[in-house]
Amino acid sequence: MDEFLKDNYDLITSLIEFVAAITGVLLYKKYKNTPVKYIIYFLVYTFFVDLIGGYPNFLKKIGYFHLIEDTLIEKNYWWYTIFWWIGLSAIMFYVNSRIIKTNRLKKILQYGFYLYLFQVVLFIAFRFKSLFSYERFISIASLWIIMLCIVIYFFETLRSDKIILFYKSVYFYFNTLFFVWVLIIIPMNFFEVYNVTDDWNYVLFKWKIYLTLNTFLYLSLSAALIFCKPEND
């Protein structure tokens, strides 16, 4: 099992993400007049982000890793920092800002996101090279804006009539699933220093957790898209 995971982890992850992405594409017509369409865009986006983000392993397999060896892009930390963490934060903000109706809460969310972008820009400007190594700042900054989006969504839901039928909402599952995902993934980032091939026990342990979480996340989102109905204002 462990050897199978070593050889096929990237492929399995891509297949799971592809199922979610193709499910969203097939159901796009159902949700095209609602903010759910942006969740579908995000599912397609994440499939390509992870597919391209596997470039170090791909180059090793085809014998061209020497082209990026000892360069800033030798590892893919920069790719996931920019296109995953910042991308996830942006979609969480955008979707929730579209569905939140309370002006005060909407403004809090907007100012919070502007502050997040300000932090990211300052970090990149003053510590640019840190993007290309293991650096937790942006992932932790992304955590607080993602949590702010989720808390504001749940707060408004609890104060409105939407609480009666919350379980029928795609947005409820979108926020809940990423809430669970982020709470587990962020602590794992603190142990990233052990993610080296000299310690395959940890690497395989991490891959199993990621694979379980991604399967839960993407298949649950796919199910939500299938069984939920579009919500109109």
209-226 pLDDT per residue, tens: 889 999 999 999 999 999
Mean pLDDT of 153-175: 90
| Domain range summary for the chain, segments of one domain joined by + | 2-227
Do 71 and 129 contact (CB within 8 A), yes or no? no
Mean pLDDT of 123-144: 88
- 166 falls in which pLDDT band (50, 70, 90)? confident
Above pLDDT 90, what percent of the chain? Answer: 60
Residue 4 scores a pLDDT above 80: no
Handedness of CA 136, 138, 144, 149 (dihedral sign): negative
Residues in Cβ contact with 17 at an 8 Å cutoff, skipping those fewer than 6 apart: 43, 46, 47, 50, 51, 214, 218
Do 219 and 20 contact (CB within 8 A), yes or no? yes
Distance of CA 219 to the CA centre of its chain: 14
- 197 falls in which pLDDT band (50, 70, 90)? low
What phi and psi values does residue 93 have, to the nearest 5 degrees? -65, -50
Output the average pLDDT for the chain: 89
- Indicate whether this model's pTM tops 0.85: yes
Mean pLDDT of 185-202: 68
Instruction: Give CA–CA dist 4/7, Å, rounded.
Output: 5
